[in-house]
Structure 1
Amino acid sequence: MKHSTPLLAATAMLAAALSVPANAADLHVLNWKGYGADEPWAVAAFEQATGHKVVNDFFNSEQEMLTKLRTNPGLYDVVMINAAFTGQAIDEKLIQPVDVSKIPNAVDVSAEKAQSPMLNRDGSAYGVPWVWGLTALAINDKSFETPPTSISVMWDEARKGRVVIRDDAVEAIQFGAIATGQNINDIKDMDAVKAKLTSLIPQIRTFWSSENDWNQMVASNQIDVGTYWSGSADRAKTQFKLPVSLVIPEEGAVGWLDAFSIPTGSDNVEGAQAFINYMIDPQFYVEWVTKVGAPVSANDKALAALPEDSFNRAVMGSPEVAKRIQFQAPITDAQREAYLAVWQELKVNAK
């Protein structure tokens, strides 16, 4: 029996090798850091199931994501794109049509999101909806006896120097639009938005760029309130046990839809399809929510697999919350440049 052990081990290794697809290869994924696709347990499960080795790369803004696609043609196989930016990626031929028939779990994706005009063009799908969420407010629970209900808390003198906002021109301008009672996709009075944000600047402690920035500040009790992503707030509470709660202001919140696309020139389209299928799988999603905290799945079957009282079903799925969400739509280059000019001016004055 002792002599048979090496033989059994060799046989097992051979069987494992034979189970890996002959075309298994490196799979380069471009996404936000700490956003599902790079969870060690998820990567390990996907690699074991498919044989494809995941190589992650990250960005800190949509503009950085587009720049990486432009300057590294053929490098990436999968990219996560905010749907509002998918059209720009299509126009620049940075991504290619996705054969959704090769992604079995896509049949359970919400029809409304799957058919979004932001992700489809000329009869082809360029993105597979993954998750959606909000840019709303998150609070330091230690700073409030009762959670605020209004966006006006950001301007509360009592919070001066303990307020944060993300360093993103588009998001900041849209936040200002909500604060002035306007449609984020049809801003009629930019002067009002600029004035509102100008009055917010003295309240600001800093401009944050990543989840880690936000979480470290609340962990060290440096902040009371700030703009934050719904999924990030959930992760802060679930994974890091921080005193963080999401607040969806009565005035509204910015909604966004994230989707996976396949960059033009990908060398591993089959692996990309398998990865997207894994990322929208209900089993992965439930594990992601449970272990880490996550945004709302675009896969109806995955969302239904959560407990009925879970935040992503009970709160994010509430009709009352739905009324307050304004989903981001694409903006033109001219609009983006105008937003950036206003935001840069505000930041200079802050210094």
Structure 2
Amino acid sequence: MKKFIALFLCGILTATALTGCGSSSSAGENGEVIVYNWGEYIDPETLTMFEEETGIKVVYDEFETNEIMYPKVEAGSSAYDVVCPSDYMVQKMIENDLIQELDYDKIPNAKENIGAQYYEQAAAYDPGNKYCVPYCWGTVGIIYNKTMVDTPPTKWADLWDEKYADNILMMDSIKDSFMVALKKNGFSSNSLDESELQIATNDLIAQKPLVQAYVVDQVRDKMIGGEAAIGVMFSGDAIYVIGENPDLDYVIPEEGTNVWIDGWVIPKNAPNKENAEKFIDFMCRPDVALKNFEYITYGTPNTAARELIEDEDLKNSPIAFPDLTQYNNLETFLYLGEDGEELFNKYWKEVMSN
């Protein structure tokens, strides 16, 4: 699953633990590539394919959140070759000189197969697209059970409706919960205006008595099992849960939302730069990108892969591939600096302590 969701089984897809990845005995005939990615965010078969086709051993590690990943990369204690951060974290890594510029001549599939519109979106946090190749993208919206909700939700404000008391699921995530509350009030999700943040904080505090739980991956099982009526969810997870329970549906609220992109980057201290380039190029190959899309159900920015999707409903899914021109006030999270992070953390503590 995407974002904040992982089993964190280090090296689960390889026979070599990360701590032993530096030994030559663990490498393939052409060395190794050390990958740090979200949990359940790649088809394991694609890693096997890469190893068989290249002779390069994949050493695979997983993280739960951008905030867990970042200090490990910053400390350099574990030298990764390829990492998959989200938009705002890519920006933070660029500003702190933790990742290196890409040589697109070494990753031609990234030039040929990733849609121009995704590079344009990514330019908001990676000007010139120098550092990051888009891997997956999506939206944040409202998931709801049609048998438990009398009127389909259209606004974030519907998550404050008292008739859904104890049946509302919110994300256990500072950025996403504040995005909901800020957008509800017509503010930017990247706002640093303390008066706006205080309004959002007050709204989140007022909502707390109505909230059944602040969840991470539990949102899937709860919605599939009919344990809640309405909640906040990532688009890729929405595709999965709707497939499991046809009573569920997903909507992007009219006040706008977060449109996110996760992408591949190469850290400055990557020990196997050439193998990292080969790995990223392989993941941008249409057939490989298709396998990953079908496995994780998050929108692929690989337009060549999308053409290969055989299921027409999925190929044209308004959840996986929404027409963003139909929506207003869409934003991508930006890195707001250390002071901005401290500000959001301060107000989140206020929410959680009330």
- When normalised by structure 1's length, the TM-score is 0.82
Q: Deviations over 1:79-132 (max 9, x none)?
A: 0011211121123232222212111211232334335445546x7711111221
Equivalent runs, 1:91-102 vs 2, <5 Å: 91-102=95-106
CA RMSD of aligned residues (A): 2.6
Take 2:58 and 2:147, find their aligned partners in 1: how far apart are those partners?
39
2:157 matched residue in structure 1: 152
1:32 matched residue in structure 2: 38
Q: CA deviation at 1:187?
A: 5.5
Letter paired with 1:182: F
Take 1:77 and 1:140, find their aligned partners in 2: how far apart are those partners?
42
Verify the 8 A CA contact 1:174 1:254 in the aligned structure 2. Answer: yes
Take 2:315 and 2:192, find their aligned partners in 1: how far apart are those partners?
29
Letter paired with 1:111: A
Take 1:180 and 1:25, find their aligned partners in 2: how far apart are those partners?
53
Equivalent runs, 1:98-109 vs 2, <5 Å: 98-107=102-111, 108-109=113-114
Distance 1:75 1:99, change over 3 A: same
Verify the 8 A CA contact 2:134 2:264 in the aligned structure 1. Answer: yes
Q: CA deviation at 1:338?
A: 0.8
Q: Deviations over 1:255-282 (max 9, x none)?
A: 1111100112212222211221222222
Q: Deviations over 1:51-79 (max 9, x none)?
A: 22222222222111101212344521110
Structure showing greater radius of gyration is 1
The structure where strand makes up a greater share of residues is: 1
Residue 203 (structure 1) aligned with residue 206 (structure 2):
no
2:264 matched residue in structure 1: 260
Take 1:272 and 1:221, find their aligned partners in 2: how far apart are those partners?
43
Name the stretch that deviates more: 134-143 or 316-325. 316-325
Distance 1:326 1:312, change over 3 A: farther
Letter paired with 2:166: G
Take 1:251 and 1:59, find their aligned partners in 2: how far apart are those partners?
31
Verify the 8 A CA contact 1:86 1:118 in the aligned structure 2. Answer: no
Q: CA deviation at 1:176?
A: 1.0
State the 4+ residue runs in structure 1 displaced beyond 6 angstroms.
none
Distance 1:280 1:324, change over 3 A: farther
2:338 matched residue in structure 1: 333
Take 2:288 and 2:240, find their aligned partners in 1: how far apart are those partners?
16
Q: Deviations over 1:193-232 (max 9, x none)?
A: 12221221112122223x3x22232344322221111112
- Number of residue-to-residue matches in the alignment: 322
Take 1:253 and 1:321, find their aligned partners in 2: how far apart are those partners?
12
Letter paired with 2:69: M
Q: CA deviation at 1:323?
A: 3.3
Letter paired with 1:295: Y
1:235 matched residue in structure 2: 240
Verify the 8 A CA contact 2:255 2:328 in the aligned structure 1. Answer: no
Take 1:249 and 1:311, find their aligned partners in 2: how far apart are those partners?
21
Percent identity, aligned pairs only, is 24
Take 2:277 and 2:132, find their aligned partners in 1: how far apart are those partners?
11
Distance 1:124 1:243, change over 3 A: closer
Helix, strand or coil for the counterpart of 1:172?
helix
Letter paired with 1:261: V
Q: CA deviation at 1:48?
A: 1.6
Take 2:106 and 2:223, find their aligned partners in 1: how far apart are those partners?
43
Residue 194 (structure 1) aligned with residue 197 (structure 2):
no
Equivalent runs, 1:272-311 vs 2, <5 Å: 272-290=276-294, 292-306=295-309, 309-311=312-314
Q: CA deviation at 1:246?
A: 2.1
Q: Deviations over 1:296-329 (max 9, x none)?
A: 2222322343369545645233255443522222
Take 1:152 and 1:220, find their aligned partners in 2: how far apart are those partners?
24
Letter paired with 2:209: P
Letter paired with 2:238: A
Verify the 8 A CA contact 2:167 2:230 in the aligned structure 1. Answer: yes
Letter paired with 1:114: Y
Verify the 8 A CA contact 1:119 1:127 in the aligned structure 2. Answer: no
Q: Deviations over 1:143-186 (max 9, x none)?
A: 33653222222112122112122222122212211111112234
Letter paired with 1:91: E
2:10 matched residue in structure 1: none
Take 1:155 and 1:89, find their aligned partners in 2: how far apart are those partners?
36
Q: CA deviation at 1:41?
A: 1.8
Take 1:275 and 1:119, find their aligned partners in 2: how far apart are those partners?
23
Distance 1:40 1:299, change over 3 A: closer
Name the stretch that deviates more: 128-137 or 138-147. 138-147
Residue 83 (structure 1) aligned with residue 87 (structure 2):
yes
Residue 174 (structure 1) aligned with residue 172 (structure 2):
no
Gaps of 5+ in 1: 1-20
